[in-house]
Every structure is written in C-alpha cells, then in structure tokens.
Amino acid sequence: MSGRRAELVVSGVSKRFGRTVILSTVDLTVHGGEVIALTGENGAGKTTLMRICAGLIRADAGSVRVGGRIGYCPQVPGLFELLTANDHLVMFGRGAGIDRAESLRRGHAILEEFGYPLRERTVTRDLSGGTRQKLNLALALLADPTILLLDEPYQGFDRGTYVNFWDHCQVWRDAGKAVVVVTHMLAELERVDRVIELPAHPSRTLARS
C-alpha cells in the first residue's frame, strides 16, 4: 500500500464493557483505495470497533485518526419509522450541508444503483428489511465520504443486490475510498484486499469455560 494515503489509523484501541474485555490493543490502518474485510466470531468486537472508528463510542485506550469524512452504515438501520426515503435523504443531506435538491439527486442516484424502487413513497416502517437496508447504505454514502464503515450492510439483500454490493466495493476502491466491511461471508473474501480477523479475547473465553 506504499504511495497510498492512510485514511483510517487505529492505534492500540482497547474497550471493555464491565469486566468483559471486548477489544485489546487493536491496531489497524486502512489506505485509500483499499477494501478490508473485518471478520471474527460473534462477540469478537467487530461492531464495537466500527462504532469506535465512527466516533459513536469512546475507546478506553488508544486512538483513531482519520483522513476525511466517515460514512457509517450500522448493522441495524436507524431510521424514522414514519418518514419516507426522500425525507431521510433530505434530513441526512442537510446535516452534511447539502441542499434539498442535491440530496435527492445524489440519494436517488445511489438508491437506483442498488435497485431501490424510486417511485416508492412508502414510509420506512412498511419497507422490507432489504429495502430498508438499501436506504441505510445510501445514507452512509450520501455525503461522498472518504472512509466507509459498513457493518454487515447486505443483510436482507436479495442475491442480485448482494452481488451488486460487492461489485460496488470495487467501484469505491477505484474511487480511492477506504472501505471496511464487517462480514461473515467467506466466499466473498477473495474480493477484498485484506482480511482482518478479530480474535475472541481470552477474558471471554475463560468466562465461557
């Protein structure tokens, strides 16, 4: 990766919840134009690490440095149940300083790429899980972030959209974005540049035994 800019640098990040150590001195550097798969068994701390990188929770120790704007797609879509996709695009776009028309233009372009039914005026509560997830992903991409943190973003996707998602990882790589995808899909690991596996930490292994 020499010559490429580091966009996300995680140094010695540790996190515990109560007596349970979730992350212990994790180091990770992601460069622009690189797609990383973050794997590990349930409870290994993948989501916690993503949330720390996004700034949603604080690490107990260590630091995170970033090269630009972060786009974060959480595992569970956090959406207003009675608002439409357009409402969400306008609201999230405004947060990034994008006006209404531009938010809709950009948002529709992203949604269209993932096969979202654009004529749909349904509120998010009545959308299928996969369709909600498409909107969730579009909101993460709306402000054209440099760093993409995607926590199992394909949940509920049909086969075509799932393949489409991984094709887009290539597009984002070519666009110079730093992409981290939390995934359990071993078949797709050949499509990423590196695989980082978070270990189950000894304190939890001992607790289970």
Partner 1 sequence: MRSLRRIVIMGEMHGRDLTKRHAAFALLIALPLSFYLASAGTGTKSIVAGGVGMAFAVSGATLFSVLSSGEVDQRLVLAGYRPHELLFGRLLFLAPMGIAIGGAFTALMTVVSHPARPALTFVGLSAVALLSIPFGLAVGAAVPRELEGTLVLIGVVGLQLAIEPTSPVAHVLPFYGPRTLIASSLGAGGPILWPMVLTSAYGIALFVLARLLVGRRVGVERHSRVTDR
CB of 30 to partner 1, least distance (A): 10
Per-residue binding letters, 17-56, with partner 1 (x by CB under 8 A)? -------------------------------------xxx
Residues 6+ apart with CB under 8 A from 169: 35, 179, 181, 191, 192
Residue 83 binding partner 1, by CB under 8 A: yes
Which amino acid belongs to residue 139? L
Residue 94 binding partner 1, by CB under 8 A: yes
| CB 150, CB 179: distance < 8 Å | yes
How far is Cα 82 from Cα 176, in angstroms, rounded to an integer?
Answer: 36
Residue 79 binding partner 1, by CB under 8 A: yes
Tell me which residues in 106-135 interact with partner 1 (CB under 8 A): 123
* Two structure tokens written together for 111: 């949604």
How far is Cα 132 from Cα 126, in angstroms, rounded to an integer?
Answer: 9
Binding site for partner 1 (CB under 8 A): 5-9, 54-56, 58, 63-67, 70, 72, 74, 76, 78-83, 87, 90-92, 94-97, 123, 139, 142-143
